[in-house]
Structure 1
């Protein structure tokens, strides 16, 4: 596309593009933290059962793939498409790399913690609630991604239906995290039992 045909840059372009580039930078920063955590896990917890190690390393690889997709979207918007304001509103791969991949990662992590809470407490109710919330947020994330793919633009994305699916995705995920945090705190710190050792891991 000829740069001369690009639409004029609006005066509030920072308000439009700023959240995007900050999100891309934060993602790389948090990915660096994750890599350090996985490296420390490799050094300190190498005696974990093989399935648990496989989950940790697989999630790290999955997160790396998500980061590379986000980087491609950032490159298309701010490098190869520099000056084309229309690309700021373009979904690129974000419909897949954010709602769908994030909800899939959340499902695996929350199910894993539900299993850990069950091994600590030997009670099924709280792990079942966490697993249910994980499934609900997965459905909300996939629905959000499908609607985002159909609209292909941020300007047409935030309708009533999209707000509902995004609310289900984020709400169920946050509620599941709250259950995990409060349950781990209670069972590990205030519910002494021989099973609270987490298999010494």
Structure 2
């Protein structure tokens, strides 16, 4: 390991102690809090992993590979952080110089980038499927993803040549390439998914409600990682050797993992909300013209017909509706434009026929880019970033 030339160990210890003691809360406080945040987030990850194993035991192989890879990396990162903690505060107790040595810190970019890259690949594949496997999606995102990986590797190489945190100034370019690339990839993937979900709105109330919930989940899970990345960049730019940088670095990758698990586990909640408590729900279609008709109908007197047929006809014309058959295994939406006969009753034979027919012809958009009913259990998985 490189060592600072011209100073004895005691001189380096005294020099470091004098600098840290002037602002001991600013230097040591954030570092200790960073270890605490890292441990708490690991607990959240393990808890969410247990729920994921219970709710989706037969999830597709790609999801499982990504999920268990990032969980293993998260556990490895926490073990590595704990080793750094004991090196600085246990075996190195009283040795102030160990707090700014780069023996452990130099490996943070690699561990961080590996974890975040797996999460971003998951979201990138979702965006790719959502846009019907369009090639422009990876073409736009991959350059920034590769730049982020290159910046992390370059950062580790540069830190390996430095003895301590006093010489971090020259590492700013590779640092901004690393964290900046990560931030751009997150924003790009989220925007691509967000744009597609908005365009997928059909006017059917249940479908649009589901899409709005997916958009909300996407924003809520992406916002924390984005804010941490921005704060990390600002802190590093203001003072490269401040303890606040270690605070963000210690738990930054786990914020992405928690967001990923939240997205995957939200599918179970979406399924429960879509299935509801009854087997039959009304899915209303309200277009722009229909909204005007409904508003005008509120001020229009009802028909004075002796029979109730005219009133029923007016109600159907003003409020077109379509039955949505919701079974235990998913939601079945009939074809658009189906007219509901007021005297029509859904028999058990009709429900069985529509179930088999709709499984092949369901037009409800899914976040995987397909319309197969079997894929609707994966609705929440396409966000960023399901």
2:148/2:179 contact within 8 Å kept: yes
1:109 to 105, 110, 119: 119
2:13/2:95 contact within 8 Å kept: yes
Computing the radius of gyration from Cα coordinates, the structure with the larger value is: 2
Q: What is the deviation of 1:132?
A: 2.2
Give me the whole-angstrom Cα distance separating, in 2, the residues matched to 1:94 and 1:150: 12
| Unaligned stretches of 5+ residues in structure 2 | 1-8, 202-362, 369-374, 379-386
Q: What is the deviation of 1:6?
A: 5.3
The residue number in structure 2 matching 1:82 is: 93
The residue number in structure 2 matching 1:32 is: 43
The answer to whether 1:169 aligns with 2:178 is yes
1:188 to 197, 216, 226: 197
1:140/1:169 contact within 8 Å kept: yes
Give me the whole-angstrom Cα distance separating, in 1, the residues matched to 2:177 and 2:367: 34
Give me the whole-angstrom Cα distance separating, in 1, the residues matched to 2:122 and 2:163: 33
**For the structure 1 residues 31 and 142, does the alpha-carbon distance in structure 2 shift closer, same or farther, using more than 3 Å as the test?**
same
1:114/1:131 contact within 8 Å kept: no
Q: What is the deviation of 1:75?
A: 1.0
Residues 98-152 of structure 1: per-residue CA shift (max 9 Å, x gap): 2011112222221221111111112222333222221110111111111112113
Q: What is the deviation of 1:22?
A: 2.0
2:71 to 60, 63, 74: 60
Greater per-residue helix proportion: 1
Give me the whole-angstrom Cα distance separating, in 1, the residues matched to 2:366 and 2:196: 7
Runs of 4+ in 1 over 4 A off after TM superposition: 192-195
| Unaligned stretches of 5+ residues in structure 1 | none
The residue number in structure 2 matching 1:130 is: 141
1:6/1:85 contact within 8 Å kept: yes
2:14 to 3, 7, 11: 7
Give me the whole-angstrom Cα distance separating, in 1, the residues matched to 2:136 and 2:74: 30
2:145/2:181 contact within 8 Å kept: yes
The residue number in structure 2 matching 1:141 is: 152
Give me the whole-angstrom Cα distance separating, in 1, the residues matched to 2:39 and 2:165: 22
2:124/2:138 contact within 8 Å kept: yes
Give me the whole-angstrom Cα distance separating, in 1, the residues matched to 2:33 and 2:136: 39
Question: How many residues are aligned here?
Answer: 196
Q: TM-score, normalised by structure 2?
A: 0.47
2:126/2:367 contact within 8 Å kept: no
1:59/1:105 contact within 8 Å kept: yes
Secondary structure at the residue paired with 1:90?
A: coil
